[in-house]
Chain A
């Protein structure tokens, strides 16, 4: 009897957690990752910081370097870079821990927010680009 009850409780809990999975805001993953990994430098509105940190908002770089972006997110970048006509030179750390699907979500969030209206990535596209990352960009 008590065991039955226990089973029922366990099953109930399992059903609940499974169900709630369906309602998690998966589509907000890009936003969440942005806040976690990018926002402290690129700012809440993607504006960057003066001549120190390049903007993501309405940034031409996103379009001209579309194929490099997945690797830049994962491996980081250093050296000079020109964004919207301004030259920047500050190392950006990569986030090696992000999976391919997370990078896809993150990039799609950036590409469709902050005044950007660029074509979205598909996951196969990002996977392919990531396979071709140089070993180390530094």
Chain B
């Protein structure tokens, strides 16, 4: 049984390596520039242009949204239009992983506060408690500006729905400390609102990676607009 498992995982590893090397082979030809993956489901759509069939790939993307930030400003897809953004889910009275996530998000904030192409969105999963006033106090104590880092509240259902679109776990749970469970995930979103990276917001190394990936993504987007 054990041997068989070993054998199986051996094959899997070999297959993976083969795939990886094949992938690497393709990539190295293209200007030696790394690109970030695009996460989520995708579908292909065929359309006909001038009698020829063209296949388009439609990627998973974040739908339109409308929330309110710590300054009572409405934040929508327009707010992030043409920008890349990092997003997470938290709540201000969270006794577990949130402080660490916020200390890591602060690093990103400090690094990108003068870059107009980057925005940070932190959604509260306890919007009944986390009113604009509560978020305002939280932001002031963190010493952050809302133009760059929006702490969001809104309809509870909309927030939990959009968490699903970001592929991030979030749910109300009376059995855990604080009353909510959520991941410590940071998601990196591109200008087309596609998910391009997934990181552990409680780990410094993972956030280091995120900041490197942001550079890559900014370069890519810069390229696209030219």
Contacts and interface: CB of A to CB of B under 8 A. Distances in A.
Contact of A52 (B97, B142, B177): B142
Given A50-B142, A52-B141, A93-B177, A43 B103 contact: yes
Interface in A66-117: 91, 93
B183 interface: no
Nearest to B184: A40
Contacts of A49: 99, 102-103, 142
B96 interface: yes
Nearest to B93: A91
Interface in A28-75: 40-41, 43, 49-53
B142 A40 contact: no
B95 A93 contact: yes
Interface residues of A, number: 10
B99 A43 contact: yes
Nearest to B177: A93
A43 B106 contact: no
Contacts of B95: 40-41, 93
Most A CB within 10 A of own CB, among B95, B106, B138: B95
Most A CB within 10 A of own CB, among B93, B99, B106, B177: B99
B138 A52 contact: yes
Interface residues of B, number: 16
B142 A43 contact: no
B88 to A, nearest CB: 15
A52 B140 CA distance: 9
B67 to A, nearest CB: 21
Given A43-B103, A93-B177, A51 B96 contact: no
Contacts of A41: 95, 99
A40 B93 contact: no
A51 B141 contact: yes
Nearest to B96: A40
Contacts of B102: 49, 52
A51 to B, nearest CB: 3
A40 B143 contact: no
A55 to B, nearest CB: 12
Contacts of B97: 40
B107 interface: no
A50 B110 CA distance: 13
B99 to A, nearest CB: 5
B141 A50 contact: yes
B47 interface: no
A40 B100 CA distance: 6
A43 B143 CA distance: 18
Interface string B87-116: 000000101110110110010000000000
B99 A52 contact: yes
A57 to B, nearest CB: 14
Given A49-B103, A52-B102, 13 more contacts: A40-B96, A40-B100, A40-B202, A41-B95, A41-B99, A43-B99, A43-B103, A49-B102, A51-B141, A51-B143, A52-B141, A52-B142, A93-B177
8 contacts: A40-B97, A41-B95, A43-B100, A49-B103, A50-B106, A52-B102, A52-B141, A52-B142
Interface of A: 40-41, 43, 49-53, 91, 93
